């Protein structure tokens, strides 16, 4: 079964979302709770005050899947609902098969050392 993942809309206002860190590479088997990537959320685009509200959010998978294709790179800006990756529940399923649904994930705001804290 092929599953996809799109960028969750982390803010209800216009925001800059980019890939801060990748925790898995194409071909990796991810167990439930496995880390996929960290997103940098910058609300400065819509909240233009002096102190840019920057936060980081980790996406972890909630089901056992193989990461078949990663569609983003570290540092890349990714708008809401843009594709992040394709996953399969079996290791050798064709990637170009029909997408059965969205990958189930958890998202949590995490503490990350960065220059804009």
Q: Please give the residue ranges that form the binding site for another protein (CB under 8 A).
A: 8, 10-13, 32-35, 41, 43, 47, 49-53, 55, 57-58, 60, 62, 105-111, 113-117
Q: Are strands 2-6 and 99-102 parallel, antiparallel or unpaired?
A: parallel
In the complex, least distance from residue 70 CB atom to another protein, rounded to whole angstroms: 18
Q: Is the Cβ of residue 60 or residue 71 nearer to another protein in the bound state?
A: 60
**Which residue from 56, 68, 66, 60 is spatially nearest to 96, judged by alpha carbons?**
68
SS3 45: helix
SS3 63: coil
In the complex, least distance from residue 7 CB atom to another protein, rounded to whole angstroms: 13
In the complex, least distance from residue 43 CB atom to another protein, rounded to whole angstroms: 6
Tokens 């102190």 appear where?
51
């Amino acid at each position: 079964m092929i599953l996809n993942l799109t960028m969750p809309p982390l803010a209800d206002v216009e925001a800059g979302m980019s890939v801060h860190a990748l925790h898995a590479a194409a071909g990796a088997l991810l167990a439930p709770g496995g880390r996929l990537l960290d997103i940098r959320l910058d609300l400065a685009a819509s909240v233009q005050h002096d102190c840019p509200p920057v936060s980081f959010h980790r996406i972890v998978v909630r089901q056992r899947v193989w990461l078949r294709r990663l569609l983003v790179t570290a540092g890349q800006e990714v708008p809401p609902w843009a594709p992040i990756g394709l996953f399969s529940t079996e290791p050798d399923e064709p990637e170009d098969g029909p997408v059965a649904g969205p990958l189930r994930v958890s998202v949590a705001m995490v503490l990350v050392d960065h220059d804009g804290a």
